[in-house]
Amino acid sequence: MIRTHYSNQITPEMNANTVTVCGWAHEIRDLGGIMFLVVRDREGLIQVTLFKKAIDKNVLEIVKGISRESVVCVTGTVKKEAKAPNGYELVPTAVTVLGKAESPLPMDTTGKVDADLDTRLDVRFMDMRRLRTTSIFRLRNLLLKSIREYLDREGFVEITTPKVVATATEGGTALFPITYFEREAFLNQSPQLFKQLMMSGGLDRVYEIGPIFRAEEHDTRKHLNEATSIDIEASFLDNEDVMVILENLVNYVYKYIAENGQIYLKNLGVEIKIPQLPFKRLTYTEAIKIAKDNGEQIEWGDDLSTESEHSIGKTIGEHYFITDWPSRIKPFYALPYEDRPELCRAFDMMHPRMELSSGAQRVHDPELLRERITAQGLNADGFDFYLKAFKYGMPPHSGWGVGAERLLMTMLGIENIREVVLFPRDRRRLSP
Protein backbone atom coordinates (compact mmCIF):
# COMPACT_ATOMS: atom_id res chain seq x y z
CA MET A 1 0.00 0.00 0.00
CA ILE A 2 1.29 3.50 -0.85
CA ARG A 3 0.49 6.40 1.44
CA THR A 4 -1.26 9.26 -0.36
CA HIS A 5 -1.62 11.67 2.56
CA TYR A 6 -0.47 12.47 6.07
CA SER A 7 -3.24 13.17 8.57
CA ASN A 8 -2.83 16.94 8.36
CA GLN A 9 -3.05 16.91 4.55
CA ILE A 10 -6.63 15.68 4.62
CA THR A 11 -9.38 18.27 5.07
CA PRO A 12 -13.17 18.05 5.54
CA GLU A 13 -13.49 19.60 2.09
CA MET A 14 -12.07 16.36 0.65
CA ASN A 15 -15.39 14.70 1.55
CA ALA A 16 -15.96 11.52 -0.54
CA ASN A 17 -12.35 11.41 -1.76
CA THR A 18 -10.38 8.17 -1.46
CA VAL A 19 -7.07 8.32 0.44
CA THR A 20 -4.53 5.96 1.93
CA VAL A 21 -2.94 6.71 5.31
CA CYS A 22 -0.25 4.76 7.13
CA GLY A 23 0.80 4.83 10.77
CA TRP A 24 0.36 3.14 14.13
CA ALA A 25 -2.81 1.80 15.77
CA HIS A 26 -3.11 4.40 18.53
CA GLU A 27 -6.43 3.22 19.95
CA ILE A 28 -9.12 0.67 19.12
CA ARG A 29 -12.60 1.10 20.57
CA ASP A 30 -15.50 -1.30 20.09
CA LEU A 31 -18.84 0.32 20.96
CA GLY A 32 -21.19 -2.42 19.79
CA GLY A 33 -22.63 -1.38 16.45
CA ILE A 34 -19.69 0.87 15.66
CA MET A 35 -15.94 0.47 15.97
CA PHE A 36 -13.19 3.08 15.92
CA LEU A 37 -9.57 2.60 14.91
CA VAL A 38 -7.47 5.69 15.65
CA VAL A 39 -4.37 5.76 13.47
CA ARG A 40 -1.45 7.98 14.44
CA ASP A 41 1.09 9.23 11.93
CA ARG A 42 3.85 11.80 12.23
CA GLU A 43 1.44 14.70 11.87
CA GLY A 44 -1.46 13.67 14.10
CA LEU A 45 -4.45 11.35 14.49
CA ILE A 46 -6.90 9.92 11.97
CA GLN A 47 -10.21 8.47 13.12
CA VAL A 48 -11.19 5.38 11.11
CA THR A 49 -14.89 4.57 11.61
CA LEU A 50 -16.34 1.12 10.98
CA PHE A 51 -20.14 0.80 10.93
CA LYS A 52 -20.45 -2.92 11.52
CA LYS A 53 -23.63 -3.41 9.46
CA ALA A 54 -22.16 -1.63 6.45
CA ILE A 55 -18.48 -2.50 6.53
CA ASP A 56 -16.86 -5.37 4.64
CA LYS A 57 -16.63 -8.36 7.04
CA ASN A 58 -13.00 -9.07 6.15
CA VAL A 59 -12.02 -5.49 6.98
CA LEU A 60 -13.90 -5.71 10.28
CA GLU A 61 -12.13 -8.96 11.25
CA ILE A 62 -8.72 -7.47 10.43
CA VAL A 63 -9.37 -4.45 12.63
CA LYS A 64 -10.65 -6.64 15.48
CA GLY A 65 -7.35 -8.52 15.43
CA ILE A 66 -5.10 -5.44 15.47
CA SER A 67 -3.03 -4.93 18.64
CA ARG A 68 -2.27 -1.41 19.82
CA GLU A 69 0.82 0.17 18.22
CA SER A 70 0.80 -2.21 15.26
CA VAL A 71 1.75 -0.55 11.96
CA VAL A 72 -1.21 -0.30 9.60
CA CYS A 73 -2.22 1.19 6.26
CA VAL A 74 -5.83 2.17 5.70
CA THR A 75 -7.51 3.04 2.40
CA GLY A 76 -10.89 4.62 2.70
CA THR A 77 -13.31 7.41 1.93
CA VAL A 78 -13.07 10.78 3.63
CA LYS A 79 -16.24 11.75 5.46
CA LYS A 80 -16.78 15.16 6.98
CA GLU A 81 -17.29 14.79 10.75
CA ALA A 82 -17.00 17.77 13.09
CA LYS A 83 -16.46 15.63 16.20
CA ALA A 84 -13.49 13.73 14.76
CA PRO A 85 -9.84 14.88 14.87
CA ASN A 86 -9.24 17.53 12.17
CA GLY A 87 -12.97 17.54 11.31
CA TYR A 88 -13.08 14.33 9.28
CA GLU A 89 -13.17 10.55 9.63
CA LEU A 90 -12.17 7.77 7.30
CA VAL A 91 -14.57 4.99 6.28
CA PRO A 92 -12.26 2.10 5.31
CA THR A 93 -12.40 -0.09 2.26
CA ALA A 94 -9.10 -1.87 3.01
CA VAL A 95 -6.90 -2.28 6.07
CA THR A 96 -3.47 -3.92 6.02
CA VAL A 97 -1.32 -4.78 9.04
CA LEU A 98 2.32 -4.18 8.10
CA GLY A 99 3.95 -4.79 11.47
CA LYS A 100 2.28 -6.42 14.44
CA ALA A 101 3.06 -5.08 17.93
CA GLU A 102 3.49 -7.43 20.87
CA SER A 103 1.50 -7.00 24.08
CA PRO A 104 1.91 -5.70 26.69
CA LEU A 105 3.61 -2.53 25.50
CA PRO A 106 6.72 -1.34 27.38
CA MET A 107 4.97 1.97 28.07
CA ASP A 108 1.75 3.79 27.29
CA THR A 109 1.78 6.03 24.22
CA THR A 110 -1.56 7.79 24.66
CA GLY A 111 -0.45 10.05 27.51
CA LYS A 112 -3.06 8.60 29.86
CA VAL A 113 -0.50 6.65 31.91
CA ASP A 114 2.77 8.45 32.60
CA ALA A 115 6.19 6.79 32.79
CA ASP A 116 9.34 7.98 34.55
CA LEU A 117 12.13 9.47 32.47
CA ASP A 118 14.48 6.48 32.78
CA THR A 119 11.79 4.13 31.46
CA ARG A 120 11.08 6.47 28.59
CA LEU A 121 14.75 6.76 27.66
CA ASP A 122 15.24 2.99 27.84
CA VAL A 123 12.53 2.60 25.15
CA ARG A 124 13.00 5.95 23.41
CA PHE A 125 11.56 4.56 20.17
CA MET A 126 8.28 4.03 22.02
CA ASP A 127 8.48 7.32 23.89
CA MET A 128 8.79 9.09 20.53
CA ARG A 129 5.26 7.91 19.75
CA ARG A 130 3.88 10.18 22.47
CA LEU A 131 2.51 13.49 21.26
CA ARG A 132 4.49 15.47 23.83
CA THR A 133 7.83 13.90 22.91
CA THR A 134 7.26 14.21 19.17
CA SER A 135 6.37 17.88 19.63
CA ILE A 136 9.62 18.58 21.50
CA PHE A 137 11.71 17.20 18.66
CA ARG A 138 9.68 18.92 15.96
CA LEU A 139 10.44 22.16 17.82
CA ARG A 140 14.11 21.21 18.05
CA ASN A 141 14.09 20.81 14.28
CA LEU A 142 12.57 24.28 13.89
CA LEU A 143 15.15 25.73 16.29
CA LEU A 144 18.08 24.40 14.26
CA LYS A 145 16.43 25.41 10.99
CA SER A 146 15.89 28.98 12.22
CA ILE A 147 19.49 29.25 13.46
CA ARG A 148 20.84 28.22 10.07
CA GLU A 149 18.45 30.61 8.35
CA TYR A 150 19.56 33.53 10.51
CA LEU A 151 23.29 32.86 10.27
CA ASP A 152 23.12 32.27 6.51
CA ARG A 153 21.34 35.61 6.17
CA GLU A 154 24.11 37.27 8.20
CA GLY A 155 26.79 36.03 5.81
CA PHE A 156 28.11 33.06 7.79
CA VAL A 157 29.51 29.96 6.08
CA GLU A 158 28.67 26.58 7.61
CA ILE A 159 31.68 24.36 8.30
CA THR A 160 32.34 20.99 9.93
CA THR A 161 35.41 20.37 12.08
CA PRO A 162 37.07 17.20 13.46
CA LYS A 163 35.64 15.48 16.52
CA VAL A 164 38.78 13.36 17.00
CA VAL A 165 41.74 15.50 18.02
CA ALA A 166 45.27 15.14 19.33
CA THR A 167 45.17 18.04 21.80
CA ALA A 168 42.65 19.43 24.26
CA THR A 169 40.86 22.49 22.92
CA GLU A 170 40.82 24.42 26.16
CA GLY A 171 43.19 22.48 28.40
CA GLY A 172 42.09 20.73 31.56
CA THR A 173 41.24 17.09 32.13
CA ALA A 174 37.59 16.97 30.98
CA LEU A 175 38.47 14.84 27.97
CA PHE A 176 37.40 11.44 26.68
CA PRO A 177 40.56 9.61 25.55
CA ILE A 178 40.26 7.13 22.69
CA THR A 179 42.66 4.78 20.92
CA TYR A 180 43.51 6.12 17.48
CA PHE A 181 45.52 3.37 15.81
CA GLU A 182 48.88 3.42 17.69
CA ARG A 183 48.25 6.82 19.32
CA GLU A 184 46.09 8.34 21.99
CA ALA A 185 43.51 10.86 20.82
CA PHE A 186 40.54 12.65 22.34
CA LEU A 187 36.94 13.47 21.55
CA ASN A 188 36.81 17.20 20.92
CA GLN A 189 35.49 19.54 23.61
CA SER A 190 34.76 22.34 21.15
CA PRO A 191 35.41 23.43 17.54
CA GLN A 192 37.13 26.51 18.99
CA LEU A 193 40.64 26.11 17.61
CA PHE A 194 39.49 24.99 14.19
CA LYS A 195 37.00 27.80 13.67
CA GLN A 196 39.78 30.25 14.60
CA LEU A 197 41.99 28.64 11.95
CA MET A 198 39.28 29.51 9.43
CA MET A 199 39.72 33.17 10.35
CA SER A 200 43.35 32.88 9.24
CA GLY A 201 42.08 31.02 6.19
CA GLY A 202 39.94 33.97 5.16
CA LEU A 203 36.40 32.57 5.41
CA ASP A 204 35.68 35.64 7.57
CA ARG A 205 32.43 34.38 9.18
CA VAL A 206 31.82 30.71 9.96
CA TYR A 207 29.43 28.63 12.02
CA GLU A 208 29.08 25.00 13.00
CA ILE A 209 26.26 23.04 14.60
CA GLY A 210 27.69 19.79 15.89
CA PRO A 211 28.47 17.51 18.84
CA ILE A 212 30.90 18.36 21.61
CA PHE A 213 32.17 16.03 24.33
CA ARG A 214 32.94 16.91 27.96
CA ALA A 215 34.16 14.27 30.41
CA GLU A 216 32.80 16.17 33.38
CA GLU A 217 31.40 14.09 36.23
CA HIS A 218 28.21 16.11 36.56
CA ASP A 219 24.91 14.37 37.25
CA THR A 220 22.46 17.26 37.06
CA ARG A 221 19.38 18.24 35.10
CA LYS A 222 21.35 20.67 32.91
CA HIS A 223 24.57 18.77 32.07
CA LEU A 224 25.35 16.23 29.36
CA ASN A 225 28.60 14.54 28.35
CA GLU A 226 27.66 14.79 24.68
CA ALA A 227 25.84 17.93 23.64
CA THR A 228 25.09 19.92 20.49
CA SER A 229 26.93 23.21 20.25
CA ILE A 230 26.11 26.12 17.96
CA ASP A 231 29.38 27.98 17.33
CA ILE A 232 30.32 31.06 15.34
CA GLU A 233 33.56 32.89 14.67
CA ALA A 234 33.80 36.22 12.83
CA SER A 235 36.73 38.34 11.67
CA PHE A 236 36.96 42.10 12.13
CA LEU A 237 34.32 42.05 14.89
CA ASP A 238 34.88 42.67 18.58
CA ASN A 239 33.17 41.12 21.60
CA GLU A 240 30.28 43.61 21.58
CA ASP A 241 29.66 43.01 17.86
CA VAL A 242 29.20 39.25 18.32
CA MET A 243 27.08 39.80 21.43
CA VAL A 244 24.67 41.76 19.23
CA ILE A 245 24.64 38.89 16.71
CA LEU A 246 23.90 36.46 19.56
CA GLU A 247 21.04 38.40 21.13
CA ASN A 248 19.51 39.01 17.70
CA LEU A 249 19.80 35.30 16.93
CA VAL A 250 17.99 34.31 20.14
CA ASN A 251 15.26 36.87 19.47
CA TYR A 252 14.89 35.56 15.90
CA VAL A 253 14.69 31.91 17.02
CA TYR A 254 11.96 32.68 19.57
CA LYS A 255 9.94 34.60 16.98
CA TYR A 256 10.40 31.87 14.38
CA ILE A 257 9.22 29.13 16.71
CA ALA A 258 6.30 31.21 18.00
CA GLU A 259 5.19 31.67 14.38
CA ASN A 260 5.98 28.26 12.87
CA GLY A 261 5.69 25.91 15.85
CA GLN A 262 2.25 26.84 17.14
CA ILE A 263 0.79 23.35 16.87
CA TYR A 264 3.71 21.81 18.79
CA LEU A 265 3.72 24.54 21.44
CA LYS A 266 -0.01 23.93 21.89
CA ASN A 267 0.63 20.19 22.32
CA LEU A 268 3.08 21.05 25.12
CA GLY A 269 0.83 23.67 26.67
CA VAL A 270 3.60 26.26 26.25
CA GLU A 271 3.32 29.91 25.30
CA ILE A 272 6.76 31.36 24.78
CA LYS A 273 7.68 34.93 25.63
CA ILE A 274 9.85 36.69 23.04
CA PRO A 275 12.95 38.12 24.77
CA GLN A 276 13.24 41.87 24.38
CA LEU A 277 16.25 43.51 22.75
CA PRO A 278 18.82 44.53 23.71
CA PHE A 279 19.65 42.10 26.51
CA LYS A 280 20.79 43.70 29.75
CA ARG A 281 24.58 43.87 30.25
CA LEU A 282 26.14 43.23 33.68
CA THR A 283 29.83 43.28 34.34
CA TYR A 284 31.22 40.32 36.24
CA THR A 285 31.85 42.65 39.19
CA GLU A 286 28.20 43.77 39.18
CA ALA A 287 27.02 40.16 38.96
CA ILE A 288 29.15 39.14 41.95
CA LYS A 289 27.70 42.05 43.94
CA ILE A 290 24.13 40.94 43.17
CA ALA A 291 24.92 37.38 44.24
CA LYS A 292 26.56 38.56 47.49
CA ASP A 293 23.70 40.96 48.22
CA ASN A 294 21.36 37.99 47.84
CA GLY A 295 23.32 36.05 50.47
CA GLU A 296 25.49 33.87 48.21
CA GLN A 297 28.95 32.86 49.47
CA ILE A 298 31.08 34.01 46.55
CA GLU A 299 34.15 36.22 46.13
CA TRP A 300 35.53 38.24 43.25
CA GLY A 301 37.59 35.89 41.08
CA ASP A 302 35.37 32.85 41.67
CA ASP A 303 33.46 31.25 38.85
CA LEU A 304 29.69 31.43 39.25
CA SER A 305 28.07 28.49 41.00
CA THR A 306 24.65 27.17 40.03
CA GLU A 307 23.22 28.85 43.13
CA SER A 308 24.76 32.18 42.16
CA GLU A 309 23.41 31.88 38.61
CA HIS A 310 19.92 31.27 40.00
CA SER A 311 20.25 34.17 42.42
CA ILE A 312 21.37 36.64 39.76
CA GLY A 313 18.86 35.31 37.23
CA LYS A 314 16.00 35.73 39.67
CA THR A 315 17.04 39.35 40.22
CA ILE A 316 17.37 40.14 36.50
CA GLY A 317 14.36 38.09 35.38
CA GLU A 318 15.21 37.95 31.66
CA HIS A 319 18.04 37.05 29.27
CA TYR A 320 21.21 39.00 30.05
CA PHE A 321 24.96 39.12 29.48
CA ILE A 322 27.77 39.00 32.05
CA THR A 323 30.83 40.78 30.64
CA ASP A 324 34.41 41.69 31.60
CA TRP A 325 35.41 38.45 33.31
CA PRO A 326 38.66 37.88 35.23
CA SER A 327 41.25 36.74 32.71
CA ARG A 328 42.50 33.86 34.85
CA ILE A 329 39.15 32.01 34.89
CA LYS A 330 38.49 32.29 31.16
CA PRO A 331 40.23 30.29 28.37
CA PHE A 332 43.66 31.34 27.12
CA TYR A 333 42.26 32.64 23.83
CA ALA A 334 40.09 35.32 25.52
CA LEU A 335 41.64 38.73 24.87
CA PRO A 336 42.65 40.74 27.99
CA TYR A 337 41.98 44.47 28.04
CA GLU A 338 45.16 46.40 27.28
CA ASP A 339 44.65 48.81 30.17
CA ARG A 340 43.21 46.20 32.56
CA PRO A 341 44.90 42.87 31.77
CA GLU A 342 43.33 41.25 34.83
CA LEU A 343 40.02 41.46 32.91
CA CYS A 344 39.26 40.06 29.47
CA ARG A 345 36.79 40.69 26.67
CA ALA A 346 34.77 37.59 27.53
CA PHE A 347 31.05 37.28 28.10
CA ASP A 348 28.42 34.74 29.07
CA MET A 349 24.83 34.95 27.86
CA MET A 350 22.46 33.91 30.61
CA HIS A 351 18.87 32.77 30.90
CA PRO A 352 17.43 33.37 34.40
CA ARG A 353 17.76 29.62 34.97
CA MET A 354 21.28 28.96 33.64
CA GLU A 355 24.17 29.88 31.36
CA LEU A 356 23.36 29.41 27.67
CA SER A 357 26.47 30.69 25.92
CA SER A 358 30.03 31.85 26.40
CA GLY A 359 32.14 33.89 24.03
CA ALA A 360 34.89 36.47 23.72
CA GLN A 361 37.04 38.55 21.49
CA ARG A 362 40.07 36.35 20.82
CA VAL A 363 43.78 36.94 21.17
CA HIS A 364 45.08 37.32 17.62
CA ASP A 365 48.69 38.31 18.41
CA PRO A 366 50.84 35.12 18.32
CA GLU A 367 53.24 36.19 21.09
CA LEU A 368 50.47 37.17 23.49
CA LEU A 369 48.63 33.95 22.68
CA ARG A 370 51.70 31.86 23.53
CA GLU A 371 52.05 33.79 26.79
CA ARG A 372 48.40 33.17 27.66
CA ILE A 373 48.71 29.44 26.97
CA THR A 374 51.77 29.19 29.23
CA ALA A 375 50.19 31.36 31.94
CA GLN A 376 47.32 28.89 32.20
CA GLY A 377 49.70 26.01 32.85
CA LEU A 378 49.51 24.49 29.36
CA ASN A 379 52.33 23.39 27.10
CA ALA A 380 52.41 25.73 24.11
CA ASP A 381 54.29 23.11 22.06
CA GLY A 382 51.14 21.02 22.02
CA PHE A 383 49.35 23.81 20.15
CA ASP A 384 51.84 24.15 17.27
CA PHE A 385 49.24 23.46 14.56
CA TYR A 386 47.07 26.21 16.06
CA LEU A 387 49.78 28.79 16.73
CA LYS A 388 51.18 28.41 13.21
CA ALA A 389 48.03 30.02 11.78
CA PHE A 390 48.69 33.18 13.81
CA LYS A 391 52.16 33.77 12.34
CA TYR A 392 51.04 34.58 8.82
CA GLY A 393 48.36 37.22 9.18
CA MET A 394 45.50 36.58 11.63
CA PRO A 395 42.75 39.22 11.70
CA PRO A 396 41.08 40.37 14.92
CA HIS A 397 38.14 38.06 15.54
CA SER A 398 35.48 37.09 18.04
CA GLY A 399 32.99 34.29 18.56
CA TRP A 400 30.75 32.31 20.85
CA GLY A 401 29.15 28.93 21.41
CA VAL A 402 25.57 28.19 22.48
CA GLY A 403 24.24 24.91 23.84
CA ALA A 404 21.34 23.87 21.61
CA GLU A 405 19.76 21.73 24.33
CA ARG A 406 19.89 24.48 26.96
CA LEU A 407 18.47 27.01 24.53
CA LEU A 408 15.52 24.72 23.76
CA MET A 409 14.84 23.54 27.32
CA THR A 410 14.77 27.08 28.72
CA MET A 411 12.55 28.25 25.86
CA LEU A 412 10.03 25.48 26.53
CA GLY A 413 10.27 25.51 30.33
CA ILE A 414 11.51 21.89 30.41
CA GLU A 415 13.23 20.88 33.64
CA ASN A 416 15.55 18.07 32.51
CA ILE A 417 17.93 18.48 29.58
CA ARG A 418 17.57 14.78 28.72
CA GLU A 419 14.02 15.50 27.56
CA VAL A 420 15.35 17.43 24.54
CA VAL A 421 17.99 14.90 23.43
CA LEU A 422 17.03 11.82 21.45
CA PHE A 423 19.59 9.53 23.10
CA PRO A 424 21.30 11.31 26.02
CA ARG A 425 24.84 10.54 27.05
CA ASP A 426 25.63 11.20 30.70
CA ARG A 427 27.56 9.51 33.52
CA ARG A 428 25.06 6.66 33.75
CA ARG A 429 23.63 6.31 30.26
CA LEU A 430 25.54 4.91 27.29
CA SER A 431 22.68 2.92 25.70
CA PRO A 432 20.50 3.10 23.72
CA distance 124 to 192: 32
182 is in an annotated binding site: no
413 is in an annotated binding site: no
Mapped onto helix, strand or coil, the DSSP state of residue 364 is coil
Cα angle, residue 2 at apex, residues 130 and 124 outer, rounded to 5°: 20
406 is in an annotated binding site: yes
Peptide bond into 341 cis (omega under 30): no
Other C-beta atoms within 10 Å of 175: how many? Answer: 21
CA distance 289 to 343: 17
Helical H runs in 28-181? 57-64, 117-122, 124-127, 131-153
Q: Assign residue 103 a region (left: φ > 0; alpha: ψ between -120 and 50; beta: otherwise).
A: beta
Q: Are 69 and 105 in contact (CB under 8 A)?
A: yes
Give the closest residue to 332 by CA, choosing from 282, 298, 366, 286. Answer: 366
CA distance 109 to 114: 9
388 is in an annotated binding site: no
Cα angle, residue 216 at apex, residues 212 and 217 outer, rounded to 5°: 140
358 is in an annotated binding site: yes
405 is in an annotated binding site: yes
Peptide bond into 104 cis (omega under 30): yes
319 is in an annotated binding site: no
Between β-strands 18-30 and 176-180, what pairing exists: parallel, antiparallel or unpaired?
unpaired
214 is in an annotated binding site: yes
403 is in an annotated binding site: yes
CA distance 79 to 67: 25
**Burial class of residue 224 (count of CB atoms within 10 Å of its CB; 0-12, 13-18, 19+):** buried
Q: Phi and psi for 134 in degrees, rounded to 5?
A: -55, -40
216 is in an annotated binding site: yes
309 is in an annotated binding site: no
Q: Are 333 and 400 in contact (CB under 8 A)?
A: no
CA distance 311 to 305: 10
355 is in an annotated binding site: yes
Binding-site residue positions for Mg(2+): 355, 358
Binding-site residue positions for ATP: 214-216, 222-224, 355, 403-406
Binding-site residue positions: 170, 214-216, 222-224, 355, 358, 362, 403-406
Binding-site residue positions for L-aspartate: 170, 214, 358, 362
